[in-house]
Amino acid sequence: MGVLSRRNVLVGTALVGGGLMVGVKFSPDKRLARAREMLENPGENLITTWVKISQDNIITVIVPHAEMGQGVHTSLPMMLAEELEADWDLVTMVQAPAETIYANNALVKGYLLDGKEIPAFLNQPANWSTYQLGKYMDMQVTGGSTSVRTTGQYAMRVAGAAVKDLLIQAAAQKWDVPARECSARLSQVFHNKSKRSASYGDLAPGAAGMTASASPKLKARDDFTIIGTSKPRFDIPGKVNGSATYGIDIHMPGLKIAAIQASPVFGGKVARVNSGPVTGLRGIETVVNIGDAVAVVGDNFWRVQSALINLDVQFDGGGNESVSSDTIYATQVRAIEAGKRKSNVSSGNLDEARVAAVTTVDAEYRAPYLAHAQMEPLNCTALVEDGKCEIWVGVQDGLATRAAAANALGIAKEDVTVHLLPLGGGFGRRGGGVMDFIDRSVRVAAQLDGPVKVIWSREEDMRQGAYRPACVSRFEAGLDGSGKPVFWSNVHIMDEEAEAVHIPDSVAAQIIESVEAPTHVPYGPWRSVASSQHGFFIESFIDELAHMAGVDPYDYRRDLLGDDPRMAHVLETAARMSGWGGALPEGRARGIAVKKSFATIVAQVAEVSITQGAVRVHKVWCAADPGDVVNPDTFRAQMEGGIIFGLTAALYGEITIEQGRAVQGNFPDYKMITMADTPEIEVEIIRSGAPWGGAGEPGTPPIAPAVTNAVFALTGTRVRQLPLKNHEFG
Amino acid sequence: MSYQLTINGTSHELDVEGDMPLLWALRDELHLTGTKFGCGVAACGACTVQVDGVAVRSCSCPVEAADGAIITTIEGLGGPGGAMTTLQEAWTAHQVPQCGYCQSGMLMAVTALLAENPDPSDEDIDKGVSNVCRCGSYPRVRAAIRSVAQAIATQDATQDPTQAGATEVGEATSAEEM
Ligand code: FES
Ligand code: FES
């Protein structure tokens, strides 16, 4: 068993790196016992935590992330297979259960290596900042575009390379030749001198007695044969024939179905519930009151949801009944004017620059609350029995789910088992900081015998959101005689990651500050997090400066990015793709924007017209530099999806608050774009070789400003508050 | 009240309320969960099935309205043994799904569109497919539809074009090579 504990040291070492604070939290033996449960068939050898190789030469990669359509169940195995010199046709994957050994240790290292803070999306409502750093090891995160950047780079590739070395050693020993004379290719080890070869499957048992290198040599980019090639995703067939089982599809003997309603005023309590009107109705078993929500339990979702609507229940809003979007914006404006400011960026001499400026420009921007509206409404199936809890759910963070359930029930985390299922969309709503639906579901289950599937109606899902926060942001900038910005001053709501509010360094004097204006409205990470609203604000205001200076918006940006060749190249690429500056059809105009988020730089050009008084986007050109890319087709799909997600928000997205509650409840009043208003999208990927960036999020931020900048070019109307549907165009 | 439905070629007697939406009869009574719940108000198309050959949003179709009907769901779209239709194969070739949750409904809606109009224009597609895909697979949906329409157009004229992903009511489609 030496190799297994040694292998655990390998993984631990690889994950811990020089960062002593992370530590190896779990004893090798415990890792070993848990990891061994992953072995399904006799004859399989578990070689590392991350991969197993069966005797018939099938390599199964164990992926510690949930699949929500971002292709990570394929791209992570690709990274491992690359280093392992595996035959891709013989590679498959399983998703790791939400066990501590699969906690996303690599995530911690990824951020430590980048010299970054723990990302904002982990800092959201659950207030993770009170945790010790080591506790992050207890998170299994899919979000913040981290899978490839951290798990892939620091665990998958290292594990793959180490296992390859083991297999070569095993072959060398078997053949009694020096290991350096052996080579690996397509899931086989070769010894050319003696013309011998053996499959990984044959060598695997021998390798199980050997010592792995803690820091194996990784391949150079030029030698990649799998990374950078488009591979069909493992999860697609089941999504085409209807066999993919999402959380909402779970069925088991004795399963009850529940519909739930929480206080419409966020944070309120159930004041009174009278189950009389629904007692005895067909298929209705009981009504459960969990204090902040009620649930009707029965045998069919239509029956329980219909009964819930007829239930006689009153809520106590807890004093927030008078809060509205207007009062929230007013509070934010007051905070910006008089609140205590926290500085995020401060460089240069603002006072001097102010004097030097020939022109000053100021503007106030606003972005509304947004719901995630992931296609699969929130749901969670739970069984609470004998002080233990079992959960079936699609989430972005299995271990946070486990912790949330344990917390809600007052039991140990070890007594909670989470079965992770594919997600019908996440976009942040199923992430670690926003586990209200787990909390409520297990509290409903605790009052019942047997398993219960709690399903949120679309209306309940949308009105009990973890919204992208509404935000006001004020800017002031000064231009010199040539129109160049000499100072930039910004104050906005909520302290955010520097990356989200960053502007080009070429603006010598900068002050970027935040103020707090808390509300009772729950919020959470929403695809691209703070870069979604700040990307819109910043790239719009830069456009204002360009027009004020009388310079073409592309040229103006290009000039500002003089010190940043990588970003400038992405901008140039988008401009080139679109033929920026060329003649356009009558009634059309273009806008451009560029934003770096999650370490990926994306520039987009949007071509728009006004059709029947509304903005119509015809085409989007998108250039993206993620450093490098594992599965280009998947990356392209993420850009397409990110653009459509951001465009939906720019055109239509708005959750308004009235009387302390969310107004919109379903697609008729929270409109989604469909085939008919989807633009043509062209994507070009730039593999610059910079540190790997994300894929899921960075496509979203530039689209709103690219579109509104085009609207300005076309109409002269500067849109400073989204969504566009609230504006009238001639 | 008891209702008789033929679903994917199998006859079912359903003893449920007549106003129960077909969606919830499929999902919670028959445990055919390939058909998805997205909105419940006919606004997203995730629940699309075919009732007597017509694409129907099953969340808003009461069981009593489908009494005696022949129904095809995503589970019955392909041929026996899991063989996929031409359209499903195009979906795989174009890697259309992201999270995949909307795709059952998307495929059922497009299948019905192509049965009626094997070579739809962009406008026909825009009008005929109003399903919501929150992941934004629309460009690929369009590309996949086009590839199938092209395949039909170049097919031997003696072949029946409606076989390409289009079901005759109640019959499982034969899986063809593109
Ligand atoms: S669930 Fe039927 S249309 Fe949305
Ligand atoms: S693929 Fe996710 S909603 Fe369409």
Tell whether A241 is covered by a domain. no
pLDDT band of A304, cuts 50, 70, 90: very high
Considering only CB atoms, which chain B residues are within 8 Å of A244?
100
Distance (angstroms) between ligand 1 centre and the Cα of B113 equals 18
Q: Are A27 and A101 contained in the same domain?
A: yes
Which contiguous run of DSSP H or E holds residue A436? helix A436-445
Residue B10 sits at the chain A interface (C-beta within 8 Å): no
A1 part of a folded domain: no
- The rounded distance, in Å, linking the Cα atoms of A382 and B162 is 45
> Which of these, A446, A459, A397, lies nearest to A262 by C-alpha position?
A459
Give A589-633 pLDDT, tens digit per residue.
999 999 999 889 999 999 999 999 999 999 999 999 999 899 999
Q: Cα-atom radius of gyration of chain B, to the nearest Å? A: 16
Yes or no, beta carbons of B43 and A667 under 8 Å apart: yes
Instruction: Tell me which of B50, B56, B59, B133 to substitute to probe ligand 1's pocket, judged by most ligand atoms within 8 Å of the beta carbon.
Output: B59
B85: nearest CA partner in chain A:
A241
> Of all atoms in ligand 2, which is nearest to the CA of residue B135?
2
ipTM: 0.89
- pLDDT top residue among A62 and A246: A246
Contact A667 B132 (CB under 8 A): yes
Q: What angle do CA A363, A369, A370 make, to 5 degrees?
A: 120
CATH topology of domain B80-154: DNA polymerase; domain 1 (1.10.150)
A357 shares its domain with A402 = no
> Does A534 or A211 have the greater pLDDT score?
A534
- Domain ranges (residues) in chain B: 2-76, 80-154
Q: Is B61 in the pocket of ligand 1 (CB under 6 A)?
A: no
Contacts of B75 in chain A (CB under 8 A): 241-243
Looking at the complex, does the CB of residue B145 fall below 8 Å from at least one CB of chain A? no
Are residues A292 and A176 part of one domain?
no
**Ligand 2 centroid vs A376 CA: distance in angstroms?**
9
Do A188 and A283 have their domain in common? no
Cβ distance B132 to A643 less than 8 Å, yes or no, reads no
Candidates B23, B134, B167: best to mutate against A (most CBs of A within 10 A) is: B134
Sequence-separated contacts (24+) of A23-28 with Cβ below 8 Å: A23/A134, A25/A100, A25/A134, A25/A137, A26/A100, A26/A101, A28/A4
Backbone angles phi, psi at A265, to 5 degrees: -80, 115
Distance A250 CA to ligand 1 centre (A): 19
Which residue has a Cα nearest atom 2 of ligand 2? Answer: B99
Point out the domain boundary residue: A167, A194, A229: A229
Any idea which of A162-166, A353-357, B67-71 has the lowest mean pLDDT?
A162-166
Q: Is the peptide bond before A723 cis (omega within 30 degrees of 0)?
A: yes
Last residue of a domain, one of A455, A480, A507: A455
CB B135 near ligand 2, within 6 Å: yes
Among A112-116, A214-218, B10-14, whose mean pLDDT is lowest? A112-116
Out of 3.10.20.30, 3.50.50.60, 3.20.20.370, 3.30.230.70, the CATH code matching B2-76 is 3.10.20.30
Question: Are A518 and A661 part of one and the same domain?
Answer: yes
Nearest to A263 by CA among A522, A454, A470: A522
Between CA A488 and CA A527 the distance in angstroms is 27
Nearest ligand for residue B59 CA: 1
Q: List C-alpha distances in Å: A639 to A518, A687, B52, B102.
A: 33, 15, 38, 19
Contact A421, A369 (CB under 8 A): no
Residue A448 lies in a domain: yes
With respect to residue A202, please indicate whether it lies within any of the assigned structural domains: yes
Q: What is the CATH number of the domain that holds A335?
A: 3.30.365.10
Question: In Å, what is the CA distance from A346 to each residue of A118, A489, A508, A530, A533?
Answer: 21, 9, 10, 19, 21
pLDDT of residue A48: 38
DSSP A521-542: S-B---TTTHHHHHHHHHHHHH
> What are the tens digits of pLDDT across the range A93-115?
876 655 544 444 444 444 333 33
The total number of structural domains in chain A stands at 3
Q: Mean of the per-residue pLDDT values for chain A?
A: 85
Same-domain pairing of A406 and A548:
no
- Nearest residue of B to residue A673 by CA position? B132
CB distance B32 to B73 below 8 Å: yes
CB contact under 8 A, A637 and B95: yes
In the reported structure, the alpha carbon of residue B101 is separated from the centroid of ligand 2 by a whole-number distance in angstroms of 5
Query: Which of B40, B97, B139 lies closest to A678 in CB terms?
Result: B139
Cβ-defined contact of B101 to A376 (cutoff 8 Å): yes
Which among A63, A80, A83 has a CA at the least distance from the CA of A71?
A63
Q: Is residue B9 lining ligand 2, measured as CB closer than 6 Å? A: no
Mutate to test the interface with A, among B87, B135, B137, B141 (most CBs of A within 10 A): B135
State the first-to-last Cα distance of chain A, in angstroms, to the nearest integer. Answer: 75
Could B33 and A248 be called an inter-chain contact, meaning their C-beta atoms sit closer than 8 Å?
Answer: yes
Q: Round to whole Å and give the CA distance between A199 and A440.
A: 50
Atom of ligand 2 nearest to the CA of B99: 2
Backbone angles phi, psi at B169, to 5 degrees: -45, 125
Residue contact B135–A375, C-beta within 8 A: yes
The Cα–Cα gap between A297 and A444 comes to: 9
Nearest ligand to the CA of A376 is 2
Average pLDDT value for chain B? 88
Query: How many angstroms separate the CA atoms of A527 and A431, rounded?
Result: 11
> CB distance from B141 to chain A under 8 Å?
yes
The per-residue pLDDT for range A11-54, each reduced to its tens digit, is 222 222 221 122 222 222 343 344 444 444 444 443 434 677 87
Report residue B106 as tokens. Answer: 């998307």
The three-state secondary structure class of A517 is coil
Collect all residues of chain A within an 8 Å Cβ-Cβ radius of residue B98. 69-70, 637, 641
Distance from Cα A258 to the centre of ligand 2, integer Å: 25
A426 Cβ below 6 A of ligand 2 = no
B16 in helix, strand or coil? coil
Specify whether A395 is located in the same domain as A356: no
Ligand nearest to the CA of B91: 2
Q: Binning pLDDT at 50, 70 and 90, where does residue A695 land?
A: confident
Query: Which residues of chain B make contact with A302, given a CB cutoff of 8 A?
Result: 20-21, 23-24, 28
Beta strands in A581-643 (DSSP E): 588-597, 600-611, 614-625
CA of B29 to the centre of ligand 2 (A): 25
Could you say which of A165, A198, A229 is where a domain stops?
A: A229
Co-location of A430 and A488 in the same domain:
no
Tell me what pLDDT residue B155 has: 66
The two three-digit tokens of residue A707, written as one number? 């579109």
Give the pLDDT of residue A26: 25
Ligand 2 contacts CB of residue B44 (under 6 A):
no
Residue A496's domain spans which residues?
Answer: 327-368+467-726
Q: Which tens digits make up the pLDDT trace of B30-82?
A: 999 999 999 999 999 999 999 999 999 999 999 999 999 999 999 999 877 77
Our CA angle for A177, A179, A181, nearest 5°, is 75
Task: Answer whether B132 contacts ligand 1 (Cβ < 6 A).
Answer: no
Measure Cα distances from A117 to A111, A113, A121, A130 in Å: 7, 10, 11, 14
DSSP state of A213: P
Q: What is the pTM of this model?
A: 0.89
Token reading at A529: 């997090």
Q: Answer yes or no: is A242 within a domain.
A: no
C-alpha–C-alpha distance, residues A721 and B9, integer Å: 53
Distance CA(A153)–CA(A631), nearest Å, equals 14
Does one domain contain both A14 and A59?
yes
Q: Give which of A65, A241, A281, A370 to mutate to test B binding, by max B Cβ within 10 Å.
A: A241
* Closest ligand 1 atom to B60 CA: 2
Q: What is the mean pLDDT of residues A155-162?
A: 76
Residue A549 CA, ligand 1 centroid: distance in Å: 50
B138 CA from centroid of ligand 2 (Å): 9
d(CA A412, CA A258): 25
